[in-house]
Amino acid sequence: MRAKILSLLRQAGDRYISGEEIASRLGVSRTAVWKHIQELREAGYHIASHSRSGYSLREAPDRLLPGEIQHGLNVRCIGREIIFRDVVDSTNTLAKQVAADGAPEGTVIVAEQQNGGKGRLDRHFFSPAGKGIWFSVILRPPFLPQEAPKCTLLAAVAVAMGMERFGLKAGIKWPNDILYENKKLVGILTEMSAEMDGINYVVIGTGINVNIMAEDFPEELRATATSLSIMNGGKPLPRVKFFQAVLEAMDELYDAVKREGFAPVMAAWRRYSITLGQEVRVIGVRDGDVFTGRAADIDEDGALLVDTPSGRRRVLAGDVSIRPQKR
């Protein structure tokens, strides 16, 4: 009901619309309209009222509310269903629960704050309230399970595309870290439930540091983490608008993948890469193997191809950490 009232207020533009008209058009009482208006105000909407004229929407909050995100959102699949929470342990954890319960493809779980967000290799992801975009997307793709890790590359490209729409130049460090001045802006974690011959669901969790200032980061993260607002000269970004740009880019890429495979995603990833062509040091997380070489390319599976003095080596995402080789 609140979404319908918001829609009517938006349609009215700058003019007032009476409680009686809203009630008549929605088939509810004026008292019910008043109660929903109060709830919208409590959620952060600035709604002016006049005893004779009615109500007028003056300002919407920069909160990641479903009604705000979906207003003007142009997508085929991703974001048509949105589940919002003020606080969660992890959006990925909640996404896996609702996916197992049958949530439709494209459902987005978004929270203002995470208390237990995780990145690759089980690293904690700092997710403060109201300063970032912490979300997970549920996909039920037609491709085979071995293709699923490439969804991580898709998510990284989608964020990079969203940044470009706001005039911010992204750089992706293999496989999916987005960096600015060698500090991390974005973390992505893809998880999957699958059988031998098919995927039940894929959950892509993404954390974007949007309006976090340097002093907001814990001391131990200040040397390695940054945000879009810092990148933007200290100016905050409108989180809802930025989130819409990312969801639209992700939806566009996913639609292309279902039609053409991952080749378009791989090509876009190469354009944004700050790893390819660089001398890198590869550190094996599981076996402790360490070697250096030149990052030459990624293959059709998204693995990094590194040219070493002893030949080309193939590095799989999730198995290594990569740092620039000191000269």
Spatial separation of the C-alpha atoms in residues 256 and 262, rounded to whole Å: 8
CA-based R_g, the chain, Å: 22
Measured between alpha carbons, how far is 93 from 89 in angstroms, rounded to an integer?
Answer: 7
Distances (CA, A) of 58 to 12, 14, 228: 11, 8, 27
Residues making up the binding site: 90-92, 114, 184
Edge-to-edge strand order for the sheet containing 311-315? 311-315, 304-308, 290-298, 279-284, 320-324
SS3 19: helix
Question: What is the distance between the alpha carbons of residues 1 and 115, in angstroms, rounded to a whole number?
Answer: 30
Binding residues for biotin, as ranges, are: 90-92, 114, 184
Give whole-number Cα distances, 81 to 12, 70, 178, 269, 313, in Å: 25, 9, 27, 27, 42
- Alpha-carbon separation of residue 92 from 101, 136, 190, 299 (angstroms): 14, 6, 9, 28
Under DSSP, the state recorded for 77 is: S
